[in-house]
A and B are shown apart, each in its own frame.
Chain A
Amino acid sequence: MIWKTVLFLLMLFVIIAGISFPIVENPTAWYQFPVIPGLEEKAKIIFFHVPTAWLTVVAFLVSTVYSIKYLKTKDLDDDARSIAAAQIGIMFCILATVTGSIWAKFNWGSYWNWDPRETSIFMLLLIYGAFFALRSAIEAEEKRAALSAVYSIIAFVTVPFFIFIMPRIMTGLHPGSANDTNAGPVVNFKMNGNMMLVFFTSLVAFTILFFWMWRLNYKSIIYKDKLTKNIL
């Protein structure tokens, strides 16, 4: 209950602040955001788009952790936790891709540019897709759990290449690319204090949201499983 209240308050703050706080030339009041050249009002996407992309990776991480745990314990509940995280992950992955793509149309001129970061989110989408394709191909429960766990671990060890290395060594449009003059971690780019505050609050809120959704999801998967086994 306490977590839900915290989540509600944080999300409320992020939604109100992220959408309604004005972007002005020279911020004077505490609630004003500075203008970022080339982005203007469109800079606000960072409060919602980046957290969804972040959740995609977090969900993938959680899914892999429980895959490893499954291989150790052979407990099907761990498999349910892993698949639950992956299901939420693919949802946020689609959200991040679509929001980013719409935004790119208005700021960079086309829906898709094969910028390295766009490539990497597309790759994640493919991995999630392949993961579910593999799961649907196997009938036997234990075999399905073991093979999909192995696959998600293999996919996870190759992911760093395109999530963390490639966007930084290749030239691209996103902040933090090789040809970006701000050169530095993505979050340090020209944001002032209150923008950072909203951004990091948003990250925290979305992370809590993920863990809440994940808990509900794996519980429902486990219950569903138990119900079908009792009836049949």
Chain B
Amino acid sequence: MKSFALFKKDLHSELRTRYAINALVMFILVTISVILFSIGSEKISETLTGGLFWVVIFFSAMSGLSRAFVSEEERGTVLTLHLIASPNTIFSGKLLFNLILVFAMNIVIALLYSVLFDSFIIRNFSLFFLAFVLGNIGIAAASTIIAAIIAKTGSKGTLYPVLSFPILLPLILILLELTKFAIDGTVIGESLVELTVLVCYDVVILTASYLLFDFIWKD
């Protein structure tokens, strides 16, 4: 329950400044328009649009999600958080906030994308939806724990994509594969292996994050 209160606090402070939301919206617009400019009037293949979709998501996530813990360090509220809640609660709160942010961001990206790109046709929607949901959970979890590490390094923002990319890459590769399947219209039964790997990734990264957050937070 306390983590939910923490989430509400983050939401209120976000709605007051709208820093992350504004940055994210602008970033999504810029990335998509750059892709559209570079394509021009050319017709690109369906597989490539599927790949570019995750490129947009990855870079938007890199720009918006690093704030979770940095903002606490900047405002000097870390010690207060230490006093009122256990590390696990804090991590749950931040994770919840990042989850909502990732889902909102990716739904916007997906909608914009399907409107703007003619060749982005999902033939097996339920498979795409499953991959999308599981992928978002993975992205949120991995980026939250990396954000916690980054906040302790003296908020060196450039380090964030460097540290996140190797951790997120297995996830993105599997998501690319699944998006390709969804565009080709493969049935779910044939992509069970990839879905299992996705679920494993989510479980592993969540477990590791909860176990290790103590050590980052206590410094």
Contact = CB atoms under 8 A, between A and B. Distances in A.
A130 B208 contact: no
B173 interface: yes
Given A134-B153, A147-B153, A155 B167 contact: yes
Given A134-B149, A169-B193, A126 B212 contact: no
Contacts of B167: 154-155, 158
Q: Which of A129, A149, A161 has the most CB of B within 10 A?
A: A161
Contact of A155 (B152, B166, B197): B166
B208 A154 contact: yes
A162 interface: yes
A147 B204 contact: no
Contact of A162 (B146, B156, B170, B219): B170
Contact of A169 (B156, B159, B194): B194
Interface in A109-131: 119, 123, 126-127, 129-130
B71 to A, nearest CB: 19
A165 B197 contact: yes
B163 interface: yes
B165 A153 contact: no
Interface string B136-159: 000000000110010011101001
A157 B203 CA distance: 11
Given A126-B165, A130-B165, A146-B215, A158 B159 contact: no
Interface in A165-186: 165-166, 169-170
Nearest to A144: B153
B173 A166 contact: yes
B47 interface: no
B166 to A, nearest CB: 4
B35 interface: no
Nearest to A154: B208
A71 interface: yes
Contacts of B204: 157-158
Contacts of A166: 170, 173-174, 197
A158 B201 contact: yes
B92 interface: no
B212 A153 contact: yes
Interface in A31-84: 71
B88 interface: no
Number of contact residues on A: which range applies?
20 to 34
A154 B162 contact: no
Contacts of A170: 177
B209 interface: yes
Interface string B186-212: 000000011001001100110011001
A123 B170 contact: yes
A157 B149 contact: no
Contacts of A165: 197
Nearest to B201: A161
B108 interface: no
A130 B163 contact: yes
Interface string A13-35: 00000000000000000000000
A153 B170 contact: no
B34 interface: no
Contacts of B145: 154
Interface of A: 71, 119, 123, 126-127, 129-130, 133-134, 137-138, 142-143, 146-147, 149-151, 153-155, 157-158, 161-162, 165-166, 169-170
28 contacts: A71-B215, A119-B173, A123-B170, A133-B163, A134-B149, A134-B163, A137-B154, A137-B156, A138-B152, A138-B153, A143-B152, A143-B219, A146-B216, A146-B219, A147-B216, A150-B212, A153-B212, A154-B145, A154-B208, A155-B167, A157-B204, A157-B208, A158-B167, A158-B205, A161-B170, A161-B200, A166-B174, A169-B197
Given A158-B201, A158-B204, 14 more contacts: A71-B215, A126-B165, A127-B166, A130-B163, A133-B159, A134-B162, A137-B153, A142-B219, A154-B208, A154-B209, A166-B170, A166-B173, A169-B193, A170-B177
